[in-house]
Amino acid sequence: MRSVWSLLAVDGGKWVARLLGHAPDGRGTLLAGNGAMGLGAGLLAMPFGLHLMLGGMTLPFLLSTLGVAIFMASLTLLRARRADEAAAVQGLGLLALGLGLSLADPAPLDAGLAIMLLAPAYAGIVGTAGTRRLAVGLGLAGAAVAAGLGQAGFAFGTMDPTAPALLVLGLLGVLIARSAGRVRAETDALAQGERTAYHHLVEAVPDAVLRLAAGGEVVFASASSETLLGCQRYELSGKGLFARLHVLDRPAFLSAIDEACRLGVRRTLEVRLRRDLPGENRVPNFVWIELSLSPVIDAGGAGRHEVVTLLRDISERKDFEAEMQAARRAAEEASRAKTRFLATIGHELRTPLNAIVGFSEMMTTGVAGDIAPVHKEYAGLIHKSGRHLLDVVGMLLDMSRIEAGKFEILPEPFAPESLVEPCLDMVGAMAAERGITIAAEVQPSLPALNADERACRQILINLLSNAIKFSPDGAGISVSIKRQGAHVLFSVADGGIGMGPEELERIGEPFYQASDAMTRRFEGTGLGLSIVKGLVDLHGGRLHARSALEEGTTMTVLLPINGPAIKLGHTGVVTPLHKDQVSQQTPSWQDARRRAQ
């Protein structure tokens, strides 16, 4: 049942391909289908013809034999890929059948005439223009002869009143044949036009277009491949492309082709291909090419594989990537150099500073004997300044450790409210000097916070120091600690000079203080908030700043109650700071213990 159906199907692609041994175009498929149908009809008619022949009537058998011969011949020609001739055999064969029918016996004269007139139409559709003209000529001539004979035959009897109708039928046959020829020509022109358009498309795109066989051999190369690789395109055909591939890229190329064919997946790969430069070149010149492989599986061709490949010159992009990489390496190296510099200079500064601080403190406290009061005052100033410098150096080292990802935090649960008192103590003297009052508000029954307590203290002290520094004398500052969801929220609000949007953007950049003018007004390195930002990041927390010029600043820190999600340890990454405040650090925030030496 199934084979009968495919027999009738005009577009029985696979069946036709098997029959002919190759996949023909649309017309070939049509002809093969028609040929097969004609052959089937002839074979079916043969037994009846045989039966009639035994009854004394030889014509049907002869005609069916002729039909079988015609269609077998056309199929044979199709197998040999001679579609034009196959079409001519079919068209003219039908014509011959009609002629034989009408000449052999006057009875089926009308049918014979109709066949002779329709055969040219069929030939016009499937055959070439020559076949069509031949068929029309022969058809008209045959029809005229047969009609004449018939007329003569009829003349002996009565005049057939349908004879004039035969003339009309003849005319109609001619018209159909002409129209069919026209349709055929148009179709051909359209197909040709489409082929031309595709041809132009392929040749005009700057990317080279190649068709590769399953083994990677080049079957077709577009003209643009000549420009791309500096060679004639025939040089690429067969193994020519593979020979130009950089040896190191060959395995990748082969496996990509294999995958494309076997799995039908699209692949893109970057390879180096040799490009010929004009003149003698001893050293092969390779260009980076991006290959896009798109497998095309021909359903009619017994799974024949082909890979359509686009080649694009990506040397510029590759150069750019290399430059970017070099630039990044340089930047990383510069950053490492900065970190090294800070660490080294920090150590070098600390040793003499310790001596300055220690000896001046000995003089101030009179440990080594009494000195004149004015000298004591000087020693006190030296001591105070030395302390300040030590704090700055300490912050520099902290900052460089944070930036280098070497700052370790040890989260342990502790009560967040316990931070308040020591921090207020630490900044108390500085606030008192300026008549600034600090109000603390702590939410009752806070959960234990899993964080590095020392780091939290430093965060709070830095924020408080900043608030004090940028507040006018006698102002108030408020500190609050409360729970917010899965975080503990610390906030420090002041009524100080505040920051504009631009300054808010840059907040937390090391050494950045809100404005140059302010740097003069407020001393400090601008490191305090950078350290806050770094410590908050290490805890997986967030730092926010809300501020407007002359309206004060509120700094908020959110730390996750359960501690940092990932233990950062040595690999802590500190993201660049955005949003935070103002600056600076004041000398006294340090916790004596951690200030190292």
Residue 557 and residue 491 in contact, taking contact as beta carbons nearer than 8 Å? yes
CB of 333 to another protein, least distance (A): 27
CB of 374 to another protein, least distance (A): 21
Binding site for another protein (CB under 8 A): 350-355, 357-359, 361-362, 365, 367-369, 387, 390, 408, 410, 452, 454, 592-597
Q: Whose Cβ is closer to another protein: residue 55's or residue 369's?
A: 369
d(CA 321, CA 326): 9
Q: Whose Cβ is closer to another protein: residue 154's or residue 414's?
A: 414
- Give the count of alpha carbons within 13 A of 483, CB side only: 12
In terms of phi and psi (left: phi > 0; alpha: psi -120 to 50; beta: otherwise), the region of 425 is alpha
d(CA 204, CA 202): 6
Kindly write down the DSSP assignment for every residue of 7-62, as one continuous string: HH-TT-HHHHHHHHSS---HHHHHHHHHHHHHHHHHHHHHHHHHHHHHTT--HHHH
CB of 407 to another protein, least distance (A): 9
CB of 412 to another protein, least distance (A): 9
CB of 343 to another protein, least distance (A): 13
CB of 364 to another protein, least distance (A): 8
Task: State the burial class of residue 152 (Cβ atoms within 10 Å of its Cβ: 0-12, 13-18, 19+).
Answer: exposed
Written as six digits, the tokens of 567 are 């233990």
Residue 402 and residue 574 in contact, taking contact as beta carbons nearer than 8 Å? yes
Question: Tokens 């040999």 label which residue?
Answer: 80
Task: State the burial class of residue 517 (Cβ atoms within 10 Å of its Cβ: 0-12, 13-18, 19+).
Answer: exposed
CB of 488 to another protein, least distance (A): 20
Residue 530 and residue 508 in contact, taking contact as beta carbons nearer than 8 Å? yes
Q: Whose Cβ is closer to another protein: residue 126's or residue 456's?
A: 456
CB of 563 to another protein, least distance (A): 15
Q: Whose Cβ is closer to another protein: residue 62's or residue 362's?
A: 362
CB of 358 to another protein, least distance (A): 4
Q: Whose Cβ is closer to another protein: residue 323's or residue 348's?
A: 348
Reduce the DSSP state of residue 509 to 3 states and report it. Answer: coil
- Count of Cβ atoms closer than 10 Å to residue 40 Cβ: 15
Reduce the DSSP state of residue 105 to 3 states and report it. Answer: coil
Q: What is the DSSP letter of 234?
A: G
Of 532, 396, 510, the closest CA to residue 456 belongs to: 532
Q: Whose Cβ is closer to another protein: residue 108's or residue 569's?
A: 569
Written as six digits, the tokens of 488 are 């503990």
CB of 558 to another protein, least distance (A): 23
Written as six digits, the tokens of 497 are 């000079």
Helices (H), 366-433: 373-403, 420-433
- Give the count of alpha carbons within 13 A of 331, CB side only: 6
d(CA 372, CA 79): 123
Q: Whose Cβ is closer to another protein: residue 144's or residue 343's?
A: 343
Q: Whose Cβ is closer to another protein: residue 395's or residue 507's?
A: 395
CB of 356 to another protein, least distance (A): 9
Beta bridge partners, 310, equal 209, 292
Q: Whose Cβ is closer to another protein: residue 367's or residue 372's?
A: 367
Q: Whose Cβ is closer to another protein: residue 285's or residue 344's?
A: 344
Q: Whose Cβ is closer to another protein: residue 397's or residue 559's?
A: 397
Written as six digits, the tokens of 532 are 């806050």
CB of 366 to another protein, least distance (A): 10
Beta bridge partners, 450, equal 413
Q: Whose Cβ is closer to another protein: residue 151's or residue 418's?
A: 418
d(CA 126, CA 95): 14
Written as six digits, the tokens of 266 are 């699209």
